[in-house]
Amino acid sequence: MNTTVNQEIVVLGGGYTGVLATVRLARRTRRAKVRITLVNPSDRFVERLRMHQIAAGQQLANRRITELLDGTGARFHRAAATGIDPAARQVTLSDGATLHYDTLVYALGSATDTERVPGVADHAWTLNDPVRAHHFSERLTELAMAGGTVTVVGGGLTGVEAATEIAESHPDLPVTLVAAAEPGSMMGPGARAHLDRAFERLGIVRRIGVQVDKVLPQAIRLSTGELIASDLTLWTAGVRVPPLAADAGIATDATGSVITDATLRSVSHPDVYAIGDAASVVQPFGRLHGTCQSGMPTAAYVADAIARRLRGREVPPFRFGYVHQPVSLGRRDAVIQFTNADDTPKRWYLTGRVAVRYKDIVSGSPWPVFGMSTRMTVPVQFSRGGRRTRDRV
């Protein structure tokens, strides 16, 4: 047993990456003198990947982070981080507490940006919060009975998944998808054609290649001045990351994400690691974009890297390659575009029931993986270059 280490490790953010990093680190440092504290505003684990399902009226299991951490040795502090003092190595919290850290894991994720376009914060709904998403689903049901219109703004995967889920669960409700760029433009022609057929089948009206410049109480306004009537507007266009790192003087890129080195430490503050959506991670093919597919490997890698360094061992650089773009199209259809490591499409893709099954496996609840990670080192996700995250410490 190693009795020389005495380290305070604070993990900020209890989303997909923060929770995985915490349980994996607790497992990997179980014989070391380490105290791990996970900080999150809520004890409820939010399955962001499936928020569009809540918005369409489905129920998801209520998962408690404290139940998961029970018996792992890691502590849970329910609060929001309000500031970081890197010189003092302290985090201030919304409940007035301060936490000292020797190592900080920055896993604050991202949220839909409601500031960039006027009216979004006041008149549009987002998938940022499960309680609000549930209220949205109630409004949808009322609207379906009253005869209204729904608009989903944003042609990224979140917008596509939300629009198809809503259209499938409310077949009589007119759904319009408004986007600046063609949905699925990063997919190959076969997968894109399947996406188009799904939109047709579900009766989703598409307004593509347009910019929304204002959201009004019952309409959206395009940059051309045209108004599109919308009783209920769901905004999925653009994300932002919390400003804490930038406010603390930790080096960030233009989006506010923490710039990391080859082992995912802040380039300005090596005692700060960054993972998930709030980290700027660059691979030979470019910067990773915010997905669980890349986020979960960053979390597993950082847990392993911290454990290795505590034992005085070398840490190999983080390596990652994309495998797929899995997109649900309601509960009965999906499209999976297989990709090269740099996320460009391969020729192969799956559709229909096989794709639904595949999507369920890769984007289902991470809870079983978290649970297993409290007891063993779980290979997190198949991704080329991710094998290093499975090295034993």
Ligand X SMILES: Cc1cc2nc3c(=O)[nH]c(=O)nc-3n(C[C@H](O)[C@H](O)[C@H](O)COP(=O)(O)OP(=O)(O)OC[C@H]3O[C@@H](n4cnc5c(N)ncnc54)[C@H](O)[C@@H]3O)c2cc1C
- Pick between residue 219 and residue 248 the one whose CB is nearest to ligand X: 248
Q: Minimal distance in Å, beta carbon 305 to ligand X? A: 17
Tell me how many helices (H) and strands (E) the chain has: 11, 24
- Pick between residue 221 and residue 319 the one whose CB is nearest to ligand X: 319
Q: Minimal distance in Å, beta carbon 108 to ligand X? A: 4
Q: Both tokens of residue 40?
A: 């999150």
Q: Are 73 and 26 within 8 A, CB to CB? A: yes
Q: Minimal distance in Å, beta carbon 131 to ligand X? A: 12
8 backbone dihedrals φ, ψ, rounded to 5°: -100, 120
- Pick between residue 10 and residue 219 the one whose CB is nearest to ligand X: 10
Q: Minimal distance in Å, beta carbon 18 to ligand X? A: 5
Q: Minimal distance in Å, beta carbon 202 to ligand X? A: 17
Q: Are 72 and 27 within 8 A, CB to CB? A: yes
Q: Minimal distance in Å, beta carbon 104 to ligand X? A: 12
- Pick between residue 49 and residue 281 the one whose CB is nearest to ligand X: 49
Q: How far are the Cα atoms of 30, 164, 268 from residue 7, in angstroms, in the given order?
A: 12, 48, 21
* C-alpha to C-alpha distance for 143 and 257, rounded to whole angstroms: 38
Query: Is beta strand 75-78 parallel, antiparallel or unpaired with respect to 34-40?
Result: parallel
Q: Minimal distance in Å, beta carbon 134 to ligand X? A: 14
* C-alpha to C-alpha distance for 331 and 7, rounded to whole angstroms: 46
Shortest CA distance to 158 belongs to which of 193, 127, 137, 130?
A: 127
- Pick between residue 213 and residue 253 the one whose CB is nearest to ligand X: 253
- Pick between residue 232 and residue 292 the one whose CB is nearest to ligand X: 292
Angle CA(199)–CA(195)–CA(140) in degrees, nearest 5? 40
- Pick between residue 54 and residue 219 the one whose CB is nearest to ligand X: 54
- Pick between residue 104 and residue 292 the one whose CB is nearest to ligand X: 292
The residues, any chain, with a CB within 8 Å of residue 182's CB and separated by 6 or more, are: 155, 192, 208, 209
Q: Minimal distance in Å, beta carbon 229 to ligand X? A: 25
* C-alpha to C-alpha distance for 274 and 266, rounded to whole angstroms: 7
Shortest CA distance to 184 belongs to which of 197, 202, 196?
A: 196
Residues that bind ligand X (CB under 6 A): 12-18, 39-41, 46, 48-49, 51-52, 80-81, 107-109, 127, 158, 161, 242, 276-278, 290-293, 295, 326, 363
Q: Select the residue whose beta carbon is closest to ligand X and give its number.
A: 15
* C-alpha to C-alpha distance for 389 and 385, rounded to whole angstroms: 9
**Which long-range contacts (C-beta less than 8 Å, at least 24 apart) are formed by 350-356?**
351/191, 351/194, 355/326, 356/328, 356/331, 356/332
